[in-house]
Structures are given as C-alpha cells and as structure tokens.
C-alpha cells in the first residue's frame, strides 16, 4: 500500500485510524520533535517495525542535564547518531561514543579540563555558549584558546562570551570559521580575530562597559571577506563614533551593518561624523540599520527639517525615526536604509539577527556537513 492509500484510509469518515496505518515517513518526521529518552522508552519496544524505524534515524538531537543520563539506555543506543547535542554540564566523562556530533550547545562555561573533554567532538561545526555568567570575571579563558588554536578544525559557526586580551595569544589561522559572535573589552582582540579568521563573513561583537579605546589606529591589513557586521555598544566614556570608525576601518568590504546600543554619556552621537565614516570606511555598504539610545537634547534637535538634511548625508539614511524618552526608556534614534537593487527582500528580513548570524543550531542538516 502506497502513501496515498494510507492517507485515504485515515481521511475516510468510516475508517478507524490506527498507528500502524501511518507510513514510515510520517513517523520519521514526528520523531524529530521527540526527545531521545521518550523515543526509546515509548516506541522502541512496541514492535519490530518501530524498532527498525528508530534504528534508521539520523541527525538526532540529544540534551542532557545530569551526567548520569549519558549512561542511560537511550543515550547509549543513539550515541553514534546524535548530531546536535545540548549539555547543561560538562563533567570529565568519555564522550567518544558521540562521534557524529556536529552542533554543540553548552549552558555553562567550561574550564580547561572540560575543554579537553569537548575535543572528543572532532568534527564539530557549530559551537554555542548559551548562558552568560553574572560576573564577567568568571568567563572562560580556556574555550576561546581552544577555538583559536584550531582545536576544532571543522568549526564553521561559533558563539563565545568574553574574550580577554593577551599580548601573546598564540592563536593560529582558523580557515574554516565563517560566523562568529563574541563579547570584547579590548579592541585589540578585534584585530586578533580578524587576523586569525581570514574566511570570516559574519561577525557579531558586543563591546562591554569596560571597553578601552586604543590610542592609535591599528596597523594591520584590512579583512577582505567580512560582509555582515552586527555591533552592540554599551555605554562607555569614549565617543561611540570614534569606536565605530576604528572597527570599520578594518572591514572595508562590508555590505550589511547593524549598530545597536547606547550613545556615550560623555559624547553625543555625531550623525555627520557617522555619515562621513560610512562613506570612507565601507563604500560597498548596501544595508544599514542603527538603533541607539541617545541623549534627550539630541532627540529634541532632530526635527522634520533636520531629518531631511540627515537623509542627504548618506545614501542609506533613507528612513529616520525619533522616539522621545519616557520615564523608563531613554530617547531612541532609528536610521535604516536598504539598496533594493541589491536585495530583493523586505527590509524587515535584514533586521532579523538570524540573517547576520546563523547561530541557532536548530536548522543544521546533513547537507551542511
């Protein structure tokens, strides 16, 4: 009986739907949304057909909260077919049975010994640190070292927390890394990342409140591959325009730029300076989006006539919005623009973070491996 016949039986008002009437393909799709624990305990012992379907499954997602779960029957049975793995702990354990893992999500910061354990995932293509510690001093210094010394030679996408600056990082070239999300305190780490990741095309950087401004420009070759840059600025004692210019001067081939955050409490956002640096630093820019908290005095200065003047400063300053402050939220400035000849999509599509950084890990398929 083919699949159409099966479905006709189910849709018939006189028929009694039974589990066995569903085709195997339906079960394969349904089982993608069932945890491996429930899958094993609920279906494996039903009959030979379900046992064969379960035995044929690949590209499974495993999630473990406690170390003892790794020794359970479901994990032992599916270990070699788990490609996406989420761990709420990283104990010193044997992870060699999980040879197919390509996507790893960690909900804690691993220490050096735990990083050695994670190296068992030699084919890792996606690494994501999900949760930030409350105190930035507890950020891991080990995991960035492992990532940037090419301990995971197939790594394509990575999200880390804070990367500390060291004069001698002893990093190596990471040719496989294309997408990266990090948090920085020192701009010199930005240059170290660009030099170590020549193939990087998407980058998200959050600058902490402790961010330090360099005294001079960086004397390094521009990064030629980076196309999409997502920058989040926290309040610092430095001019946000100065910080933005220092970073953009190193990535001249950007086509997409998003800037979010707060303008400096000392220096207001200078829109003329911003337009000038975009002209000079990123001449190939095709999409620009800025969403920043600004001082109330600046928001009062932006009238309809000044908006028109701003629109003439840069070709992508096409949509300008001002939201006045409230009791809870400071004033906000939105500036966005999109070259529709370059992008056939709606502007809202490009405001999604997933466009800039494919770091969800949930859509990883065998084709990407």
CA 229 to CA 248: how far, in whole Å? 9
Q: What is the pLDDT of residue 363?
A: 41
pLDDT at residue 1 is higher than 60:
no
360 falls in which pLDDT band (50, 70, 90)?
very low
Q: pLDDT at residue 10 above 60?
A: no
Residues 190 and 331 in one domain: yes
- The answer on 171 and 191 residing in a single domain is no
Q: Is residue 366 part of a domain?
A: no
368: in domain: no
pLDDT in tens, 239-281: 788 888 989 999 999 999 999 987 655 456 788 889 999 999 9
Q: Which of 158, 177, 196 is the last residue of a domain?
A: 177
Q: Would you state the structure tokens that stand for residue 86, as one six-digit string?
A: 């989420």
172 with 191, same domain?
A: no
Q: How many residues does the chain have?
A: 369
| 336 or 240, higher pLDDT | 336
Same domain, 310 and 210: yes
CA distances from 295 to 262, 302, 345 (A): 9, 11, 33
Q: Quote the CA–CA distance of 310 and 347 in Å, as a whole number.
A: 20
CA atoms within 13 A on the CB side of 205: 26
Same-domain check for residues 287 and 307: yes
The answer to whether 177 touches 197, Cβ cutoff 8 Å, is: yes
Asked if residue 253 belongs to a domain, the reply is yes
Give domain status of residue 13, yes or no.
no
In a domain, 8, yes or no: no
Best CA proximity match to 192, nearest among 221, 216, 171, 209: 171
Regarding beta strands 228-233 and 179-184, do their DSSP bridges make them parallel or antiparallel, or are they unpaired? unpaired
Contacts of 193-200 with C-beta under 8 Å, sequence gap 24+, read 193/148, 193/163, 194/220, 194/223, 194/226, 194/250, 194/251, 195/220, 196/148, 196/171, 196/172, 198/173, 198/223, 198/225, 199/174, 199/175, 199/225, 200/225, 200/226
pLDDT of residue 8: 47
254 and 212 in a common domain: yes
* Residue 240: domain span: 184-349
> Which tokens belong to 261?
């955050």
User: What is the chain's mean pLDDT, rounded?
Assistant: 81
Helix (H, G, I), strand (E, B) or coil at 133: coil
Convert the pLDDT of each residue in 43-98 to its tens digit.
888 888 888 999 899 889 999 888 788 888 999 999 999 999 998 877 767 788 88
Overall domain count for the chain: 2
Considering the domain architecture, whether residues 345 and 272 belong to the same structural domain is answered as: yes
**Which tops the pLDDT comparison, 256 or 141?**
256
Q: Which residue has the higher pLDDT, 193 or 330?
A: 193
pLDDT of residue 227: 97
**pLDDT on residue 280:** 94
Instruction: Report how far residue 188's alpha carbon sits from residue 195's, in angstroms, rounded to the nearest whole number.
Output: 11
DSSP 63-98: EESSGGGGGSHHHHHHGGGEEEEEES---S---TT-
DSSP 212: -
Cα angle: 272, vertex 286, 301; to 5 degrees:
25
Q: How far apart are CA 160 and CA 171, in angstroms?
A: 16
151 with 216, same domain: the answer is: no
Q: Considering only CA atoms, which of 64, 60, 121, 72 is closest in space to residue 89?
A: 64
d(CA 284, CA 279) in angstroms, rounded, equals: 9
> Do 122 and 252 share a structural domain?
no
Task: Say what the pLDDT of residue 186 is.
Answer: 86
216 and 324 together in one domain:
yes
Please report the pLDDT score of residue 268 as a whole number: 64
HSE, side-chain direction, 13 A CA sphere, residue 331: 17
The runs of H, that is alpha helices, within the chain are: 3-11, 24-31, 36-43, 48-56, 73-78, 112-118, 142-148, 187-196, 240-248, 271-281, 296-301, 304-311, 347-350, 353-356
Does 161 share its domain with 63?
yes
Of 128, 153, 177, the residue that ends a domain is 177
| Structural domain includes residue 364 | no
Among candidate residues 146, 177, 208, the one where a domain is terminated: 177
Contact 317, 329 (CB under 8 A): no
Show the CA angle centred on residue 155, arms to residues 154 and 157, nearest 5°: 145
Please determine, for residue 361, whether its predicted confidence score (pLDDT) is greater than 70.
no
Q: Is residue 4 part of a domain?
A: no
Do residues 338 and 273 both lie within one domain? yes
Q: Report pLDDT for 61.
A: 93
In a domain, 3, yes or no: no
């Amino acid at each position: 009986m083919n699949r159409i016949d099966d479905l006709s039986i189910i849709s018939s008002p006189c028929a009694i739907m039974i589990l066995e009437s569903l085709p195997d393909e339906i079960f394969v799709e349904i089982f993608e949304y069932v945890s491996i624990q429930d899958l094993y305990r609920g279906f494996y012992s039903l009959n030979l057909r379900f046992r064969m379907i379960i035995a044929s499954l690949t590209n499974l997602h495993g999630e473990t909260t406690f170390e003892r779960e790794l020794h359970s029957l479901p994990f032992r049975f599916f270990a070699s077919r788990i490609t996406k793995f989420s761990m709420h702990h990283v104990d010193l354990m044997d992870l060699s049975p999980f040879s197919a893992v390509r996507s790893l999500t960690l909900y804690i910061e691993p220490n050096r010994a735990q990083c050695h354990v994670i190296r068992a995932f030699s084919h890792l293509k996606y690494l994501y640190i999900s949760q930030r510690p409350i105190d930035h001093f507890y950020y891991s210094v080990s995991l960035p070292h492992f990532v940037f010394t090419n301990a995971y030679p197939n790594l394509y996408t990575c999200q880390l927390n804070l990367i500390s600056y060291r004069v001698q990082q002893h990093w190596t070239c990471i040719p496989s890394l294309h997408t990266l999300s990090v948090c920085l305190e020192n701009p010199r780490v930005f240059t170290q990342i660009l030099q170590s990741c020549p193939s990087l095309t998407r980058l998200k950087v959050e600058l902490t409140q402790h961010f330090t401004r360099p005294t001079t420009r960086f004397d390094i070759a521009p990064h030629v591959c980076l196309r999409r840059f997502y920058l989040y600025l926290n309040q610092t004692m430095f001019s946000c325009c100065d910080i933005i210019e220092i970073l953009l001067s190193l990535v001249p081939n950007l086509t997409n730029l998003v800037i979010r955050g707060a303008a400096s409490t000392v220096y207001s956002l200078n829109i003329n300076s911003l337009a000038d640096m975009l002209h000079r630093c990123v001449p190939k820019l095709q999409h620009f989006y800025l969403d920043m908290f600004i001082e109330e005095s600046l928001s009062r200065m932006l009238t309809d006539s000044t908006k028109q003047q701003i629109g003439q400063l840069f070709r992508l300053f096409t949509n300008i919005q001002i939201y006045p402050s409230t009791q809870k939220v400071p004033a906000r400035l939105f500036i966005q623009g999109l070259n529709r000849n370059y992008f056939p999509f709606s502007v809202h599509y490009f405001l999604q973070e997933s466009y800039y950084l494919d770091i969800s890990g949930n859509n990883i398929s065998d084709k990407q491996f």
